[in-house]
Amino acid sequence: MLNFLKRTRDSKKSSDTAISAKDDIMKGTIPSHIAIIMDGNGRWANKRSLPRMAGHHEGMKVVRKITKLANELGVQALTLYAFSTENWKRPKIEVDFLMKLPEEFLATYLPELVEKNVQVRVMGDKDRLPRHTLSAVNKAIKETEKNTGLILNFALNYGSRTEIIQAIKKIADDAKEHKLNIDQIDESVLSDYLMTNALQDPDLLIRTSGEIRLSNFMLWQLAYTELWFTDVLWPDFKEVDFLQAIADYQQRGRRFGGI
């Protein structure tokens, strides 16, 4: 099945292939939490002599497809790296466009997310987000908070080093106020102070576009995550690619330091 998926990725039959492969993959272990670094939108646009914003907009459509498939597979949480703390360095026109995408995505697909029992969450520093972005995000969180299916977790204005520093500061404050004994501090305690404290660590990380780095994304949480990299640009990422990542994951042995 693995080779078959690889051979058919670019064919017109890829959707049919995904449908048939999905049943086989569901017989194996499905990752509970999948994280994705959605990379390559700008390069996708440049290859087509389009503005970078066109790539971001096309990538938004892929989010919908992959969210739908993850939900159908029974994935419990899908975390998407939507905007990093470093992305503010980009040109203002691009940043402004990126800040409008959550609003457009949720305005378009929120009814479907509600219908499919998907719960929307956001992690990151919300203080710097524009009011219209924050309003759209909060609306989606509120309207899906009782849903019990897939958790769609957007990492928005998120940076892992900042997250860890903030967690350490909170631990220090609690220790100073005698809410926490220093001897109690261990990996579990630190995890409880992170933005992902309500989620288990990712089982699988997918990064598109051929880059092989973590880019300040969930550095603590990815310690024992299976990593999967592909040259496919995010706007070209198809259901068969997602299934291929899971199929490869199912072939790996996760020993967590054991034998």
**43 pLDDT more than 70:** yes
Q: Give the chain's mean pLDDT.
A: 93
Q: How far apart are CA 190 and CA 231, in angstroms?
A: 34
Q: How far apart are CA 48 and CA 44, in angstroms?
A: 7
- pLDDT single digits (tens) 3-27: 555 555 555 556 666 677 898 999 9
Q: What is the pLDDT of residue 185?
A: 95
What's the total number of domains in the chain?
Answer: 1
Q: What is the pLDDT of residue 256?
A: 63
**35 pLDDT more than 90:** yes
Contact 70/239 with Cβ under 8 angstroms? no
Average of per-residue pLDDT across 174-192 = 96
Average of per-residue pLDDT across 182-190 = 95
Q: Is residue 16 part of a domain?
A: no
- pLDDT single digits (tens) 49-106: 999 999 999 999 999 999 999 999 999 999 999 999 999 999 999 999 999 999 999 9
Q: Is residue 243 part of a domain?
A: yes
Q: Which helix (H) or strand (E) holds 106?
A: helix 92-115
Q: Is residue 7 part of a domain?
A: no
Q: Is residue 155 packed enough to be buried (19+ CB in 10 Å), middle (13-18) or exposed (0-12)?
A: buried
**119 pLDDT more than 70:** yes
Residue tagged active-site, from 39, 203, 236, 241: 39
Average of per-residue pLDDT across 101-116 = 96
Q: Which pLDDT band holds residue 159 (cuts at 50, 70, 90)?
A: very high
pTM of the model: 0.92
Q: What is the pLDDT of residue 152?
A: 98
**254 pLDDT more than 90:** no
- pLDDT single digits (tens) 209-234: 999 999 999 999 999 999 999 999 99
User: For this structure, is 174 an active site residue?
Assistant: no
What letter does residue 90 receive in the DSSP assignment? S
Q: Is residue 208 part of a domain?
A: yes
Q: Is residue 176 part of a domain?
A: yes
Average of per-residue pLDDT across 115-125 = 98
Q: Is residue 11 part of a domain?
A: no
CATH of the domain at 101: 3.40.1180.10
Q: What is the pLDDT of residue 21?
A: 86
Q: Which helix (H) or strand (E) holds 57?
A: helix 52-73
Q: Is residue 205 part of a domain?
A: yes
Q: Which pLDDT band holds residue 200 (cuts at 50, 70, 90)?
A: very high
Q: Is residue 51 part of a domain?
A: yes
Q: What is the pLDDT of residue 257?
A: 66
Which structural domain, as residue segments, surrounds residue 40?
29-74+81-250
Average of per-residue pLDDT across 27-47 = 97
Convert 182-244 into a string of H (helix), E (strand) and C (coil). Answer: HHHCCHHHHHHCCCCCCCCCCCEEEECCCCCCCCCCCCCCCCCCEEEECCCCHHHCCHHHHHH
User: For this structure, is 39 an active site residue?
Assistant: yes
Q: How far apart are CA 46 and CA 52, in angstroms?
A: 7
Q: What is the pLDDT of residue 2?
A: 58
Residue tagged active-site, from 24, 87, 125, 201: 87
Least-confidence region, from 17-26, 114-123, 241-250: 17-26
